Structure 1
Amino acid sequence: MKMTPQDLIKETEHLFSLPDVALRVNQLIDEPSTRPADLAEVILYDAALSARLLRLVNSAYYARPVLIETVTQAISLVGFRPLRDLILATFAVEMFHGLPPEKVNMERFWFHGVATGIAARELAKRRGVREGERLFLGGLLHSIGKLVFFSYCADDYAEVLRLIDDERLSVIEAEERVFGFNFADLGAELLRAWRFPESIWKAVAHQLDPDKASDYRLEALIVQGAEQVGSIVQSTAIDGGEALATSASDYLRSLAGRLGLPSDALDELPGDISLQVVEVFEVLVPGASVVY
């Protein structure tokens, strides 16, 4: 009998649990009496997290007109929920640090994740999704199930790769044949175990086929579309722009139509977010650099 995504996440709970700082911040944010100073006191115990938070709030992602110099000031300006998103993003990146490069190029993986996350936030804003900023996390972590596979199921995943090469199956078809589920199912279950909002983990769960979503279909469509926008940004920044140059414009116009936006509404989106993507990537993945 094959495992379910729930079985695998329970079995790997000790490997993929959030650190105490993230849990404490989550707890404080859910308490109505919490003040920015209370959160700052917890965050300041983690010097690396504090420094990264300040770099993020001073990046193009937020485009603040003045320099933010203290964690308390950052919390007050960013807000509690976006703060939680940034902290969870930071720890998710750290959690999978050190996977062997022969399994996955982590710099490319996270660059694409950041591009997808920022695209998801922007698409949600343009579509008028309530609290759409949180879809940054859905986009950033849309493929996190792949990292669970690579980390814990390396031998079985070798069979996935063989099926892709020898039988010309898609990644999804090969994963489902070997495991009985795919990376989107597994990633959604991990995010659910981390107590992410339902709108995020369900969007990740249905990103491959939003029409099958019984609820949060729009959010799933945004994550699906953002993944393609992220690929366009990555193609331009890292691969010279050739891979998707001919199809990017057509795809962006098709996506605009599916989201109920004017046909040319997304034409400039990849270029508009490229600076944000590079800056946020360099903050979330310290020491990494985009390879041009």
Structure 2
Amino acid sequence: MSSDPAPASNASLRALDLRVPPFPRTLPRVLELLHEPEITDPAALAEIVQHDPAATARLLKQINSAYYGLRRSITDVGRAIRMMGATTAAGSVVSLGMLRMDELADGAVDACFQRFIRHSEATGFLTRTLLDGLPTGPSAHGPAPDAADGLGGTGFAEGLLHDFGKLVLFYNYPEKAAALYEEKRFRAHLQEADDRTLERLVFGCDHCTAGAYAALELHFPQRLVDVVRHHHAPPPEADAASERVLRAVRAANLAAKAMGPPLAGVAPSEETIDWDTCAAQPVWDHWRPGADAAQDEAEPNDAGPSLMDRLRATKETVMLFTDFFVSPPDAEGDDAVPDTPRAA
């Protein structure tokens, strides 16, 4: 039986007594692009980013990093966005907003914050990889998309933001968050409670609810709100496309945890799992060769050595990909959004 409480309405989410973390003024405009059903327009994103010097510097730093291995430096942000893929570039702008939260990086949750950023980036990368680059059935065994196509694609933003609620909890309750996620202080006293139950006992809400609240306040696209709220279990009314993305986010989250402590993120209990435990989870049934799309996912199945081996082989790439997201951002201008007042 699920440990989730009854689903909260958008109105009840907005009644939570939480502050929304401050983000750059460019963020709402970037998220507006993600509202569009089509692929994010690189030209539109470049128009937004060119007015944010810190975001421009970050994107140019990333495209010229060792990850891409370019022979010549790129100095034009529009070209950088086209080469990275607009979805990945947009995700980078969101990540920069997270990294600008100096009060977290220098405070009680410093270690949690750094692991949270790495895990978020890794999950975004792996979600996109599962949806666009790895087989999803017996007839889809082609190679991953060529690197020249960029890193954009379905799922990156969803994977990047899936644990957004933990950032909200860090911001509102840094001391409690450090005790829960870093010191595992409460786990020793409540052996039977699962992670989200512990969060509700400590904070009054879990990270899924807190993240959905902040996502609504920041005007995230509804599909991203749904991922933040339901990434542990899809709602019964989810359509096929939403369920596919949610499934990929859950699988990517597991794979990141299996890659070890640097990418495992933060949780009240042990974050890492071994690859056998990862492969045995029901979510992998969708990628199992010969799987029936209508098969009940309640019965665990090994995802198969080929898929797990391919995921394990991406660890070095994922580590390199996350490296350029965790360095301190460049000096910030005056474009941060002021703190949002607490809800009445």
Give the TM-score of the pair, scaled to structure 2.
0.64
1:8 aligned partner? 16
Distance 2:185 2:262 in 1: 30
Distance, in Å, in 1 between the alignment partners of 2:92 and 2:53 is: 15
TM-score by length of 1: 0.74
- The answer as to whether partners of 2:14 and 2:213 remain within 8 angstroms in 1 is yes
Whether 2:95 is the aligned partner of 1:89: answer yes
Shift of the alpha carbon at 1:230?
0.8
1:182-197 equivalences under 5 Å are 182-197=206-221
> Partner letter of residue 233 of structure 1?
M
Partner of 1:133: helix, strand, or coil? coil
Query: For residues 258 and 74 of structure 1, do their structure 2 counterparts lie closer, same or farther at Cα, with a shift above 3 Å needed?
Result: same
Partners of 1:206 and 1:213 within 8 A in 2: no
**Correspondence for 1:278:** 319
Pair 1:228-2:254 in alignment: yes
Aligned partners of 1:85, 1:244: CA distance in 2, in Å? 25
In structure 2, do the counterparts of structure 1 residues 74 and 112 end up closer, same or farther at CA, with 3 Å as the change threshold? same
Q: Which residue does 1:22 correspond to in 2? A: 27
Aligned to 2:15, the other structure's residue is in SS state: helix
Give the structure 2 partner of residue 164 of structure 1.
187
- Who is 2:230 aligned against? 206
Matches within 5 A, 1:1-292: 4-8=12-16, 11-13=18-20, 16-26=21-31, 39-40=45-46, 42-59=48-65, 67-95=73-101, 98-100=104-106, 102-105=108-111, 106-125=113-132, 126=134, 133-154=153-174, 163-168=186-191, 169-210=193-234, 212=236, 214-215=238-239, 216-235=242-261, 247-252=274-279, 254=281, 257-262=284-289, 263-287=304-328
Q: Is this contact kept in 2: 1:4–1:181, CA < 8 A?
A: no
Structure 2: 5+ residue stretches without partners? 1-10, 137-150, 265-270, 290-303, 330-344
Instruction: From the superposition, tell whether residues 8 and 133 of structure 1 become closer, same or farther in structure 2 (CA, over 3 Å).
Output: farther
2:171 partner letter: S
2:238 aligned counterpart, secondary structure: coil
How many percent identity over aligned positions?
25
TM-fit CA distance, 1:282: 2.4
Q: Secondary structure at the match of 1:208?
A: coil
Kindly tell me: are residues 255 and 277 of structure 1, through their superposed partners in 2, closer, same or farther at Cα, counting changes over 3 Å?
farther
- The answer to which structure has the higher helix fraction is 1
Tell me by how many angstroms 1:37 deviates: 6.2
256 and 158 in structure 1: CA distance in 2 versus 1, 3 angstrom threshold: closer
Answer whether contact 1:115 1:229 (CA < 8 A) is retained.
no
Does the 8 Å contact 1:252/1:266 carry over to 2? no
Question: Do 2:43 and 2:78's aligned partners in 1 also have CA atoms closer than 8 Å?
Answer: yes
Distance 2:246 2:208 in 1: 11
Aligned partners of 2:283, 2:250: CA distance in 1, in Å?
A: 13
CA gap of 1:59–1:200, structure 2 versus 1, over 3 A, is farther
Amino acid at match of 1:217: E
CA distance in 2: counterparts of 1:89 and 1:219, whole angstroms: 20
In structure 2, relative to structure 1, the CA distance for the partners of 1:201 and 1:27 (3 Å cut) is closer
Query: Which deviates the most, 39-48 or 68-77?
Result: 39-48
Which 5+ residue runs of structure 1 have no aligned equivalent?
none
Aligned mates of 1:7, 1:284 — CA distance in 2: 33
Maintained 8 Å contact 2:260/2:272: no
Label 1:190 to 1:61 Cα distance change in 2 as closer, same or farther (>3 A). farther
SS at 1:266 equivalent: helix
In the comparison of the two structures, how many residue pairs are matched?
A: 278
The verdict on how the C-alpha distance between 1:70 and 1:97 changes in structure 2, with shifts beyond 3 A counting, is farther
Whether the 8 Å contact between 2:128 and 2:155 is mirrored in structure 1 is yes
**C-alpha displacement of 1:77:** 3.5
Distance 2:212 2:244 in 1: 16
